[in-house]
Amino acid sequence: MEWTYLTYTVADYGISIGLVLVCIIGVFVTFFNSKAGQEFIVERVIGVNPSKAHGHGHDHGNEDGQNNTNNDPSLQQSYAQMKEKSIFYIGIFCCLLGGMTLSITAVLIFQGAFLASDRILPGDDCPEYKRDCFIFGASGIVPIKNNVSFYCEPLEKAEFGENITNPTAWCFGWIIAEQTTKSVLDQLGIAIALIGFFTTMLAVVIYLGKCKKTVVLSIIFIVSCGGAIIGLLVTKTSFAPLTYAILALGVVLGIFGIVLFAILPPKPAKKKRNEGKVAPNTSRLGADADSNLSYEMQSGPSYKPAFGPAKVVPK
Domain ranges of the chain: 5-114+175-263, 116-174
Residue 140 has φ and ψ, to the nearest 5°, of 70, 15
CA–CA distance from 67 to each of 35, 41, 74 (Å)?
A: 31, 27, 15
| Contact criterion met (CB below 8 Å) for 149 and 133 | yes
Residue 266 has φ and ψ, to the nearest 5°, of -65, 150
CA dist., res. 247 & res. 79, Å (int)? 35
Query: What sign does the dihedral 301-302-308-313 (CA atoms) show?
Result: positive
- Is beta strand 150-152 parallel, antiparallel or unpaired with respect to 115-120? unpaired
Give residue 270's pLDDT.
Answer: 56
Give residue 138's pLDDT.
Answer: 72
CA dist., res. 91 & res. 27, Å (int)? 11
DSSP 210: S
CA dist., res. 242 & res. 12, Å (int)? 12
CA dist., res. 220 & res. 216, Å (int)? 6
Q: Which amino acid is at 176?
A: I
| Contact criterion met (CB below 8 Å) for 102 and 27 | yes
How are the residues of the chain apportioned to helix, strand and coil, as percentages rounded to the nearest 5? Answer: 60, 10, 35
Strands (E) in the chain, as ranges, are: 115-120, 131-136, 150-152, 168-174
pLDDT tens, N- to C-terminus, the chain (315 residues):
688 999 999 999 999 999 999 988 888 888 777 777 666 655 554 444 444 433 433 344 444 434 444 556 666 666 666 666 666 777 777 778 888 888 888 998 898 889 998 888 888 888 888 889 998 887 777 888 888 888 888 888 888 876 777 788 899 999 888 888 888 888 888 888 888 888 788 888 878 877 888 899 999 999 999 999 999 888 877 777 888 888 998 998 899 888 888 877 666 555 555 554 445 555 444 445 455 544 444 444 444 444 445 554 554
DSSP 135: E
CA dist., res. 252 & res. 202, Å (int)? 11
Instruction: Please name the residue ranges forming H helices in 114-167.
Output: none
Give residue 269's pLDDT.
Answer: 56
CA dist., res. 205 & res. 215, Å (int)? 9
CA–CA distance from 248 to each of 97, 98, 131, 192, 253 (Å)?
A: 10, 13, 29, 19, 9
CA dist., res. 268 & res. 257, Å (int)? 20
From the CB of residue 25, how many other CB atoms can be counted at a distance below 10 Å? Answer: 13
